[in-house]
Amino acid sequence: MTQPPDQTPQDPHGLPPEEEAVRRLLADARHDGPTPPEVVARLDATLASLAAERETARTTSTTTTAPVIDLGARRRRMAGIGLLAASAVVVAGVALGPGLPSMQGGSDAGSTAGDAATSQRELSEDSGGGADSGGAESEETGPQNLKSAPTAPEAAYPTLSSDDVDLDDELLSLRAGSQAPDASMATEPQADCDLSGTGRGRRVLAQVDGAVGAVVFRRADGASQQVDLYVCGDPTAVRTLTLPAP
Amino acid sequence: MTTASTDERSDRELLQAHVDGDADAFGVLFARHRDRLWAVALRTMGNPEDAADGLQDGMIAAFRRAGSFRGEAAVTTWLHRVVVNACLDRFRAAKIRRFDSLPDDVEDRGTLVATAQHDDLPDVAAEDAERRRRVLDALATLPAEQRAALVLVDMEGYPVAEVAEMLGCAEGTVKSRCSRGRTKLAGLLADLNRPVGDIPHGNPPPDGPVQPTVRPRGPPAP
């Protein structure tokens, strides 16, 4: 901490006389008194409410974090297993196809590819994924899973705590999960959740400190990527971190 | 909650403790620097009410963003930066024009403390208070960024390099803001820039004749 000298804040010889005179007037008008008691009381009250809010969020977080994170991981694992099964079916179909000409009845490569696509689509629909994005590359990952369960969408959000010491690792996992082909992260907030002031970036909805909010992954800048955590209705980032660029 | 006198942890340790979940650490840290932050907020905003709002905004932001502190600067520099930015944000949002709405009882505690030493010389104390009022009035006419730079450099005495970190700009920008601000203040306060012992007496030049506040009473309506 730099402790400025009293009443001689700057080398007076470096300033023209007119500016030096103003500098002296300003130094004389410096406020030296303590913070007024009423302001101290107000700050203390605000601080108490912030601490209580954080404690509440911490309590909520400790009771809900693990299951929700586990659900997300399990969902991704299940989707992965599903895709693996689909791939196995396709591979089996391709392998058996040439060996069973009478059953195919003159099939060609196009129909095989069509079968594979159909198999995958059906599997996706069965698993509730509904990932019919049509191949359009979007910066925001698919909200389809949430649409299938509109009653309690926030239950599927990853839960994060802004003061978690392992938040960097959690965000790295979240980033990896949201970029995966089978990503099921929600990006579009509910109507009562205002995230309009959060700026540009890839957004993933999340429970932040016990409230519904979002994680915004900014565009990577060289070797790093800034990530901001928001809660609904507050354009001020709850926490900002810098991750290594993907 | 904000008793900072007995805690011997460093600023950095307190901030880290807050991030790690210590419920009292931030209060201790903020109380340690509160008076200087208040002085900066007061002089930047120009009046106690807006200064209290700005300081509170800054405190909330610092509380919530403590995890974003990466240790490149001193904790106090970071705190000043957060509070000054909160003040400037509030100022920009509200477009406060203190110059037009300065209350008559603008004398704050700093003024009273400064003039207390002249209790035995009421004329000198009154002149001191008047000069400070003139300076603060003139300061309030500057753009917010120039004012913040002058408050931190000339009033609070922080080095230009540290102020550049607080304001998030280059040192050259701080210097030019200070220079432009001083030049404008020199024009506004030219009559105060006299050698010591030749302080002008009396009130500043009147704006003009006092206008009646009520219309002349006419004959009663029939």
pLDDT tens column, B149-170: 999 999 999 999 999 999 989 9
Between CA B140 and CA B102 the distance in angstroms is 10
What backbone phi and psi angles, to 5 degrees, belong to A49?
-70, -35
> Which of the pair, A235 or A188, is modelled with greater confidence?
A235
In a domain, B83, yes or no: yes
Within 10 Å of residue A200's Cβ, how many Cβ atoms? 9
For the stretch B172-218, pLDDT in tens is 999 999 999 999 999 998 887 654 444 444 344 444 444 443 344 44
* Whether ipTM exceeds 0.90: no
**Range A129-152 average pLDDT:** 36
Q: Which pTM value belongs to this model?
A: 0.51
With beta carbons under 8 A apart, name residues in chain A contacting B139: 26, 29
Q: Are B64 and A32 within 8 A, CB to CB?
A: no
Residue A149 confidence (pLDDT):
37
Q: Which residue has the tokens 């400070």?
A: B132
**Range A101-123 average pLDDT:** 40
In a domain, B152, yes or no: no
Q: Which amino acid is it at A154?
A: E
Q: Which residues have CB under 8 Å from A180's CB, separation 6+?
A: A76
Q: How far is B208 from chain A (nearest CA, A)?
A: 27
Poorest-pLDDT segment among A236-245, B47-56, B94-103: B94-103
- The answer on pLDDT for A159 being more than 70 is yes
Q: Are B30 and A241 within 8 A, CB to CB?
A: no
Among the listed residues A156, A162, A202, the one whose alpha carbon sits nearest the alpha carbon of residue A179? A202
> Which of the pair, A198 or B42, is modelled with greater confidence?
B42
Counting the structural domains of chain B, the total is 1
Percent of chain A with pLDDT over 70: 52
CATH code of the domain containing B44: 1.10.1740.10
Poorest-pLDDT segment among A94-108, A191-205, B51-65, B80-94: A94-108
In a domain, B167, yes or no: no
Question: What's the domain range around B72?
Answer: 1-96
For the stretch B57-114, pLDDT in tens is 999 999 998 988 888 889 999 999 999 999 988 877 776 444 444 443 344 434 434 4
Distance from chain centroid for Cα B198? 28
Of the partner residues B2, B51, B186, the one whose CB lies closest to the CB of residue A22: B186
- The answer on pLDDT for A118 being more than 70 is no
In a domain, B180, yes or no: no
> Which of the pair, A151 or B191, is modelled with greater confidence?
B191
Q: Are B179 and A25 within 8 A, CB to CB?
A: no
Q: Which residues have CB under 8 Å from A173's CB, separation 6+?
A: none
Please, which pLDDT band fits residue A179 given cuts at 50, 70 and 90? confident
Q: Are A27 and B155 within 8 A, CB to CB?
A: yes
Average pLDDT of chain A is: 67
Residue A154 confidence (pLDDT):
55
Between CA A186 and CA A175 the distance in angstroms is 13
DSSP state letters, B71-113: SSS-HHHHHHHHHHHHHHHHHHHHT--GGGS--TT---HHHHH
- The answer on pLDDT for A178 being more than 60 is yes
Q: Which helix (H) or strand (E) holds A230?
A: strand A224-231
Residue A207 confidence (pLDDT):
83
